């Protein structure tokens, strides 16, 4: 069974204090690892997809990296507006052309104080 | 383009009643997914439609849950009869085939269901 574990559960940072969120996974053949951001009362918002070990993607203050067992979401010089829950999800390679379901971790609640 | 629309946004029903949730995906998205987040747990997959066909319904908890997608457009998820453990936030997501990796799945804001 595919599993995703995120740590820490919650992270409080001062504005400008860089840090990393961790996502450890086990999956029967990784098709893609997804990072999402979720604000209160909203649905998850897509950030990145990573496909293979060694891959990196960046968007503003966020950088996601991938190894064979885990992914990191690095946040550089965060701002209060980066406060949200960050979700990691994996998609197994089930064959076929449609990607199929995501298996999510519980998320990391990030709070950035001014 | 319009996003994924879900309604109602909130629903409070009594145990034993029936509730129907609706999801309108992004126009042209053949793939439609239902997920659920129960309090304190991770978001979990319920089922996946490709157009009007059920591709994968392995996450449906039991036969009190019935999902339909007539005509391959909007989808409904009916819970009948509702139990206390059905409380949670129900999310719908849609995607175009072959583009999931590039654009991810677009999620709706969810329906918060409370069974009392």
Residues A67-88 pLDDT 10s: 999 999 999 999 999 999 999 9
Would the CB atoms of B105 and A102 count as touching at under 8 Å?
A: yes
> With an 8 Å Cβ cutoff, is B38 touching chain A?
no
Q: How far is A35 from chain B (nearest CA, A)?
A: 9
Residue holding tokens 């997804």?
A34
- Which pLDDT band holds residue A113 (cuts at 50, 70, 90)? very high
Would the CB atoms of B102 and A41 count as touching at under 8 Å?
A: no
For the purposes of burial, counting CB atoms within 10 Å of the CB of B46, is it exposed (0-12), middle (13-18) or buried (19 or more)?
A: buried
Q: Chain B: residue nearest A6 by CA?
A: B42
| pLDDT tens, position by position, B14-73 | 999 999 999 999 998 999 999 999 998 999 999 999 999 998 999 999 999 999 998 889
A82 φ, ψ (degrees, to nearest 5) = -80, -5
CA distance A13 to B45: 31
Q: Is the pLDDT of residue B102 over 90?
A: no
Q: Is the pLDDT of residue A96 over 60?
A: no
pLDDT number for residue A92: 86
CA distance A16 to B25: 38
Q: Residues 61..100 of B with a Cβ closer than 8 Å to A: which?
A: 91, 93, 95, 97-98, 100
Task: Quote the tokens at residue B91.
Answer: 């999310």
Specify the 3-state DSSP secondary structure of A64. Answer: strand
Average pLDDT score over chain B: 93
pLDDT exceeding 70 applies to what percent of chain B? Answer: 93
A19 contacts: CB under 8 Å, gap ≥ 6: A11, A13, A74, A75, A78
All residues of chain A having their beta carbon less than 8 Å from the beta carbon of residue B107 are 36, 43-45
pLDDT number for residue B101: 65
Would the CB atoms of B55 and A100 count as touching at under 8 Å?
A: yes
- Which pLDDT band holds residue A28 (cuts at 50, 70, 90)? confident
């Amino acid at each position: 069974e595919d599993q995703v574990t995120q740590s820490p559960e919650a992270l409080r940072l001062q504005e400008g204090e860089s840090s990393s969120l961790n996502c450890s996974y086990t999956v029967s053949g990784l098709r893609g690892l997804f990072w999402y951001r979720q604000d209160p009362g909203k649905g998850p918002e897509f950030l990145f997809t990573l496909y293979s070990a060694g891959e990196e993607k960046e968007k503003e203050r966020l950088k996601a990296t991938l190894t064979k067992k885990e992914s990191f979401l690095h946040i550089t010089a965060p701002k209060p507006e980066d406060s949200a829950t960050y979700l990691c999800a994996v998609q197994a390679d089930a064959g076929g052309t449609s990607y199929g379901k995501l298996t999510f971790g519980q998320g990391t609640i990030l709070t950035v104080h001014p | 383009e319009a996003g994924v629309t879900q309604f109602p946004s909130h629903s409070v029903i009594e145990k034993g009643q029936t509730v129907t949730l609706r999801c309108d995906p992004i126009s042209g998205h053949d793939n439609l997914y239902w997920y659920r987040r129960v309090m304190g747990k991770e978001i979990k997959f319920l089922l996946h439609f490709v157009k009007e066909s059920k591709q994968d319904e392995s996450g449906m908890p039991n036969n009190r849950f019935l999902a339909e997608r007539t005509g391959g457009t909007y989808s409904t998820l009916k819970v009948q009869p509702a139990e206390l453990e059905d409380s949670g936030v129900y999310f719908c997501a849609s995607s175009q085939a072959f583009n999931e990796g590039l654009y991810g799945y677009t999620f709706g804001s969810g329906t918060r269901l409370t069974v009392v």
